Structures are given as structure tokens and as C-alpha cells.
Amino acid sequence: MNRLMVFLDTIRDHLDLHQLPPVATLTVRTWSDPLTVQLDAHQLTDVAGALLTWANTLDGVAASLWRTPDGHSVHLSVNGRTPCGIPVHVYSGVHFDPVVFPDLPAGVRQDMPVFQLRQWIRPGEVAA
């Protein structure tokens, strides 16, 4: 079996093993490039929940957000690796809300703690 088939089988096995949220697109390039997953979710609570679900299946997870240059939307993402080492980038966009993202200028990318996603799943709760 060639290397590509092993790579694709590994991705399929990861997707089969976990109850992952709906995906809009899945881009596979090479072993060294991240598997890119665009979620089929657009509300903050849905996106945060879907990203957390993915994060729970990955190792070495980091989260970030990026406000688009036009300022109208924010892309939330998690990056990590499958247990066998495949890099994964998962993201989706939400409408920019200055109350939710008060310190995020247009065009800026920021790292954020993964626990912030949990707070967005339960709106109205205050972090301890």
C-alpha cells in the first residue's frame, strides 16, 4: 500500500473513531501540511462546541481567533495533531460582535486559551 493510502486511511480512522460535528470542507494536502477542516457552523455557541469536540480528539491543542480585514467576521480555530501525528487545523467563522470580541481590531490574529471556547458554549456564565 502506498504512503498516500496509509495517510488517508489514518484520517478516515480518526473521523470514524470520534463523533465529530458536521464539516463543510475537508482539505487534505500532504503529511506535513495540516488537514484543514472547515466546520458547518456559524453561531458562536455552535462553533465553540464543535471546536471543543475536535480539540478533545487532538494532542497539543492551541486555539486562536482572527478578525477578517473587512472587520465583519471572526474566524475561530484550533490546531493540534491526531494521536498518530497528523497536523490538523479546524476553523469556522462567526459574525463580529464588539461585546464578545472587544479587543480584536480588524485584520488581527490572536492566540486564546482553549477554555474560552467552553465559556462561549455557556453564554452568560462568568469564568471562575
pLDDT of residue 123: 62
Taking residue 62's Cβ as centre, other Cβ atoms within 10 Å add up to 14
Amino acid 127 reads A
pLDDT of residue 127: 42
> Facing residues of 73 across strands?
95
pLDDT of residue 42: 94
Delimit the domains of the chain by residue range: 3-121
Of 112, 105, 110, 100, nearest in space to 69 by CA: 105
**What is the mean pLDDT, run by run of 10 residues, along the chain of 128 residues?**
77 86 85 86 96 96 97 97 90 96 96 95 58
Model's pTM, two decimal places? Answer: 0.88
pLDDT of residue 33: 80
